A = this chain, B = another copy of it.
Amino acid sequence: MPISSLFRPGSKLKIKDADASQRLLDDGDKKLDKDEAKTRDKLATMKLGEHISAYQELLYAQKKYKLLIVLQGMDTSGKDGTVRGVFGQINPLGARTVAFKAPSNEEKEHDYLWRVHKEVPTNGEIVIFNRSHYEDVLITRVHDWIDDAECTRRYAQIRDFERMLTETGTVILKFFLHISKQEQKQRLQERIDDPHKHWKFDPQDLVERKFWDAYQTQYEKVIAATDAEHAPWHIIPADSKTQRNLAIASVVVEKLESLELEYPPAKPELAKLKIS
C-alpha cells in the first residue's frame, strides 16, 4: 500500500477519530527512546528531502508540471515547521512559500480566489501555501461570516478552480496537519513560558481555541467536500513534529516519483561544441 493512502480521508471522515499521535515508523523489535526515535525520523526525512531536492531540479528543468502544496491546520499545528523541515533543502530559485494572512483592504475588494490565483506556481515551480483559500470556508463559516448556502457555493467554486489548475498542469497536494487539543495547549503554553517567544503569541489564538470543536467539524466538512483524486487531502498526525515531517515528505516524494519526470532531451547541436 502506498504511504500516501495511510493519510487519505475515509468516506465518513471523523477527524476526532483520527489519532493525532499515530506513528508512521514503528520501532519494530528494538525499543527506541524518544530521542533515538526523533533522530531516526529526522534522518529519514533528510533522506527524503534530498529526493525532493533532486526531483525539484528535474521539475524545473522539464517545465512540464507545476507543484502546489497546501498546508492547513489549527494554530500551532506546525505549518511553518513543515516548510522548514520538509522543504528546507530545495533550491529557493524554483520554490516559493506564500503565507496567507487576513486579507488586506485591496484583497477584500476582490473575490476570495483572486489573491490565491495570483500566487499559483509557474511551470517547473514548487509553491507552498501556508494557509490558503480554505480559510474562506473555515474561519469564515465557524464565525458565521458566511452562511451554509454560501459555503456550499464556495466548495463548488474551489473544486472548479482546482480542477482548472490541474487540467493546466498543476499537481496539487493538500495537507491537514492534525493536532490534538491537548497538544495545542502545550504549544501555546510554551510560547507564553518563554519570553523570547512572546512575539509569536497572538491573543486571537486563544479566541479561536474556544471554537476548537466547531473547527474540527468544519474541517471534516471541508475535506469531505473538496477531496478529489486530482487534488487529494492528506490528514497528517501532527502531535509529533518529526513524524509529521516524515509523513509529509513521504507523500511528496511518492507523488513526485509517480510523475516520471525527465530531463529535457540533450541538444544535438551542443554535442561537439568546445568553448574558446
| Complex contact B201–A267 (CB within 8 A) | yes
A263 within 8 A of B: yes
A26 to chain B, nearest CB (A): 31
Interface string of A83-98 (1 = CB under 8 A from B): 1100111011101110
| Complex contact A198–B267 (CB within 8 A) | yes
| Complex contact A93–B130 (CB within 8 A) | yes
CA of A274 to CA of B192, assembled, Å: 8
| Complex contact A99–B88 (CB within 8 A) | no
A28 within 8 A of B: no
A117 within 8 A of B: no
A228 within 8 A of B: no
Q: Which residues of B contact A102 (CB under 8 A)?
A: none
A189 within 8 A of B: yes
CA of A206 to CA of B269, assembled, Å: 14
Q: Quickly give the copy total for this chain.
A: 2
A61 within 8 A of B: yes
State which residues 244-276 of A face B: CB under 8 Å: 263-267, 270, 273-276
Given A201-B267, A267-B201, A270-B192, also A185-B95 (CB < 8 A):
no
Q: Which residues of B contact A44 (CB under 8 A)?
A: none
A196 within 8 A of B: yes
CA of A265 to CA of B197, assembled, Å: 10
CA of A275 to CA of B87, assembled, Å: 31
| Complex contact A199–B263 (CB within 8 A) | yes
Residues on A close to B: CB < 8 A?
Answer: 61, 80, 83-84, 87-89, 91-93, 95-97, 99, 128, 130, 185, 188-189, 192, 195-196, 198-201, 206, 209, 263-267, 270, 273-276
Instruction: Jot down 28 A-B pairs with beta carbons below 8 A, ordered by A.
Output: A80-B93, A83-B91, A84-B91, A84-B93, A87-B92, A92-B92, A92-B95, A92-B96, A92-B97, A93-B97, A93-B99, A96-B96, A185-B275, A185-B276, A189-B274, A189-B275, A192-B270, A192-B273, A195-B263, A195-B266, A198-B263, A198-B265, A198-B266, A198-B267, A199-B263, A201-B267, A201-B270, A209-B275
Known: A80-B93, A84-B91. 19 other contacts (CB 8 A): A83-B91, A84-B92, A84-B93, A88-B89, A92-B95, A92-B96, A93-B99, A93-B130, A185-B275, A185-B276, A189-B275, A192-B270, A198-B263, A198-B264, A198-B265, A199-B263, A201-B267, A201-B270, A206-B275
